[in-house]
Structure 1
């Protein structure tokens, strides 16, 4: 029985299944592919744009069981990492952190004050920043964010949200919920 369980576990790991999440010095779960940023959002957007990418922020806090779940069951998967990093740079924000950030409107605040300014209440929360050609000078991120994903979601929902933002679905007639339902139906039909 032990051999069978060991073989199944190895098979899941080889498939790109969930892995235990690493933690940083602040006690936040992290992924090695997260961008190490100076937290100057305009610069982050422009640097990502130079690489044909967008920026997504993930707001988390120490001890968040849903953050742990998201990291271990979704973000640590090889297929999820590959899909996200193809089009996005992901920057982690500590909901109660003290690192200084520079918002899109030029205001500098510690992470914890910036998170309050943006009105983020839950962790994890993923905020999708505007593309470089969509940034409106002088407006804070809270007035320019293209989509917000509050909470821990399963792999398919996360991947569909990143695809919807990449396709600029927020500028189209199909809201995310209908887009996601269509993608689920397409995946089922392909089986």
Structure 2
């Protein structure tokens, strides 16, 4: 009930899908893994899908913004697009191994004249560390987060927090590792 007044779209969506997530948390590891893969894919489609909704159904945005203009999303989408554009311009080596820690942040500073985050830690990590480390990191997360009910739910929260610049809030990973090591009743 306390999330609804914030009108924070991803958080509301997460809580609306909570019964669905809890249902799959009780399933076997393979099913949790598949759900996590689908979840990550859908999270990465958030900005393009929301942009399409704004273009085709602008009245839905007016619920949150009286002017009918979602400036918050506009900025986030611009940051997302600029990061993707600049990623495509990187050398092959940089695409594979990254442009360096904080490279995405510095690129945003240079292009937007302000110290902003991309509000999409998937693309941020990809830009900074490259395709190979990103795949390794996401594989590591999938292994840990699919282990049991507790790690699954922690993983879902951590992954949605990637849109709140919380990639480096490692408490989620530490909790998941802790619960990964504990034998939980899978029933």
TM over 0.5: no
- The structure where strand makes up a greater share of residues is 1
Normalised by the length of structure 1, the TM-score is 0.29
Normalised by the length of structure 2, the TM-score is 0.29
- The structure where helix makes up a greater share of residues is 2
